[in-house]
C-alpha cells in the first residue's frame, strides 16, 4: 500500500514567493498542511525563498530534512535546495484541479503575463495560450496603477465595484496605459472609475485569451489577480456579453476562483513532486533530502 508522503512546492514569481506543504498519497489527493507568501520587493530573492520556505515549515511543524520531495516552479534559480523543477503551466493546471475539481480550464493571471490552459481531470495540460502583448493585462500593471492612485492593493477590487462611470483604458501598452491614467486623474476622473476601467480593459483581453485557448466549462482562476473581485466581476461580465455571439466559446464558460487560488502553482508543484517521488520509488530509485531529480520537468501524466 502506498504510504502518504509530504512534499513542498515553491512557486518563485517575479513579485512574490509562494510555498505550499502538502501531505498526499502519490500526489493523487491530499491536504494542504501550511502555506506561506512573501513579497520580494527589494530583498534578495534567495533570502526571500528560504524565509518563505522556513515559515511554511514552521506553520506545518515539519522538519525541512524530512520532505520526500521539494518541487520548484516559476523561476527555479533562487531556490537552490529544491529536489526538482516543474513547468509553470503544469503546476497551475494541477493546482487548479485540486482547488476546483470541476475545472477543465485555468486562467493564470500573474505579475508579468497571463495564460489560459486546458487540462483533463488529472490536471494534465492539453493546450494553452499566453498573452503576447505588453504588460497592461497583468498584476504588476494593476499594482503600479494602485500605487499611483494611492490605493492599497487589497482595496482595489472593492473600489472598482463601486464605480458609477467607468472609463476604460484603450492602450495595450502598459507605459501608454499608465499615461492614460495620469491624464484621467488630471481630468478629475475618480479612482473607482479608473480602476473599473482598467478591470474592464484587462477582462476583455482575458476573455479573448480564453476563447483562443478553446476554454470550455468551468475555468479556475489562479495567480496573483485571482482574488481581485473587481476583475473577477468584470471578466464574468465580459464573457456574459460574448455569450450571445454565434459560436462564442465563452457561452460555455463559468469562471470560478478559490481562496487559495494565488497559491495554485505552489500547491500543484507539491502534488507533482509527490507524484514524482512515488514514481521513482516504484522504479527502485530513492531520493534523499539533498538529491536532485534532473528529469522532473514532466507533466506528471
Half-sphere exposure of 110 toward its Cβ, with a 13 Å CA cutoff? 24
pLDDT at 18: 97
59 half-sphere exposure, CB direction, 13 A CA radius: 17
Q: Rounded to 5 degrees, what are φ and ψ at 238?
A: -65, -40
Report d(CA 113, CA 125) in Å as an integer. Answer: 18
Cell numbers 512546492 correspond to 9
**Domains of the chain and any CATH numbers:** 5-96+262-282 (3.30.420.40), 101-257 (3.30.420.40)
101: how many CB neighbours lie within 10 A of its CB?
10
Total Cβ atoms within 10 A of residue 283: 8
pLDDT of residue 194: 94
Element (H, E) at 116: strand 114-119
pLDDT, residue 168, reads: 81
User: 3-state class of 268 per DSSP?
Assistant: helix
Instruction: Give helix then strand counts, H and E, for the chain.
Output: 8, 10
- What pLDDT band is residue 140 in, cutting at 50, 70 and 90? confident
Rg (C-alpha) for the chain, rounded Å, is 20
pTM of the model: 0.90
In whole numbers, what is the pLDDT of the chain averaged over residues? 88
**Close Cβ partners of 62 (under 8 Å, ≥ 6 residues apart):** 6, 21, 33, 34
Predicted pLDDT of residue 293: 76
188: CB partners within 8 A, 6+ apart: none
Q: Give the single-character DSSP code of 131.
A: -
- Report the candidate in 87, 129, 108 with the shortest Cα–Cα distance to residue 262: 108
pLDDT in the model for residue 300: 47
> 191-239: per-residue pLDDT in tens?
999 999 999 989 998 999 999 999 989 999 999 899 999 999 999 999 9
Cα–Cα distance for residue pair 249/212, rounded to 1 Å:
9
**CA-wise closest residue to 76 among 301, 293, 299:** 293
Residue 19: pLDDT band by 50, 70, 90 thresholds? very high
Per-residue pLDDT, 118: 96
Q: Residue 78 corresponds to which cell in the numbers above?
A: 533562487
For the chain, give the percent of residues with pLDDT over 90.
66
Write b or e for each residue in 30-63: b if 16 or more Cβ atoms lie within 10 A of its Cβ, otherwise e: bebbbbbbbebeeeeeeebbbbbbebbbeebebe
d(CA 165, CA 156): 16
- C-alpha distance across the termini of the chain, in Å: 21
Cell of 146: 494602485
Instruction: Write the pLDDT tens digit of every residue in 276-301.
Output: 999 888 888 766 555 677 666 654 44
Is residue 36 a contact partner of residue 12, using CB atoms and an 8 Å limit? no
Amino acid at each position: 500500500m502506498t504510504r502518504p508522503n509530504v512534499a513542498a512546492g515553491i512557486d518563485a514569481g517575479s513579485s512574490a514567493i509562494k510555498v505550499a506543504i502538502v501531505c498526499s498519497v502519490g500526489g493523487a489527493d491530499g491536504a494542504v498542511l501550511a502555506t506561506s507568501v512573501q513579497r520580494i520587493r527589494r530583498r534578495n530573492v534567495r533570502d526571500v525563498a528560504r524565509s518563505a520556505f522556513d515559515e511554511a515549515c514552521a506553520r506545518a511543524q515539519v522538519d525541512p530534512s524530512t520532505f520526500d520531495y521539494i518541487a520548484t516552479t516559476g523561476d527555479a534559480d533562487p531556490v537552490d535546495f529544491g529536489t526538482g523543477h516543474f513547468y509553470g503551466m503544469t503546476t497551475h493546471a494541477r493546482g487548479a484541479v485540486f482547488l476546483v475539481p470541476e475545472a477543465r480550464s485555468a486562467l493564470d493571471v500573474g505579475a508579468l503575463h497571463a495564460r489560459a490552459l486546458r487540462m483533463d481531470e488529472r490536471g494534465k495540460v492539453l493546450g494553452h495560450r499566453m498573452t503576447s502583448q505588453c504588460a497592461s493585462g497583468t498584476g504588476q500593471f494593476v499594482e503600479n496603477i494602485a500605487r499611483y492612485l494611492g490605493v492599497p492593493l487589497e482595496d482595489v477590487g472593492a473600489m472598482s465595484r463601486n464605480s458609477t462611470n467607468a472609463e476604460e483604458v484603450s492602450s495595450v501598452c502598459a507605459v501608454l496605459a499608465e499615461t492614460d491614467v495620469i491624464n484621467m486623474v488630471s481630468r478629475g476622473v475618480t479612482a473607482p472609475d479608473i480602476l473599473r476601467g482598467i478591470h474592464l480593459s484587462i477582462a476583455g483581453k482575458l476573455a479573448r485569451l480564453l476563447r483562443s485557448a478553446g476554454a470550455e466549462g468551468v475555468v479556475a482562476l489562479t495567480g496573483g489577480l485571482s482574488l481581485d473581485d473587481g476583475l473577477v466581476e468584470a471578466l464574468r461580465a465580459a464573457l456574459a456579453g460574448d455569450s450571445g455571439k454565434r459560436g462564442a466559446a465563452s457561452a460555455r464558460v463559468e469562471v470560478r476562483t478559490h481562496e487559495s487560488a494565488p497559491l495554485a502553482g505552489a500547491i500543484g508543484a507539491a502534488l507533482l513532486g509527490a507524484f514524482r517521488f512515488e514514481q521513482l520509488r516504484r522504479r527502485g530509485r530513492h531520493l534523499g533530502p539533498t538529491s536532485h531529480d534532473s528529469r522532473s520537468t514532466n507533466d506528471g501524466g
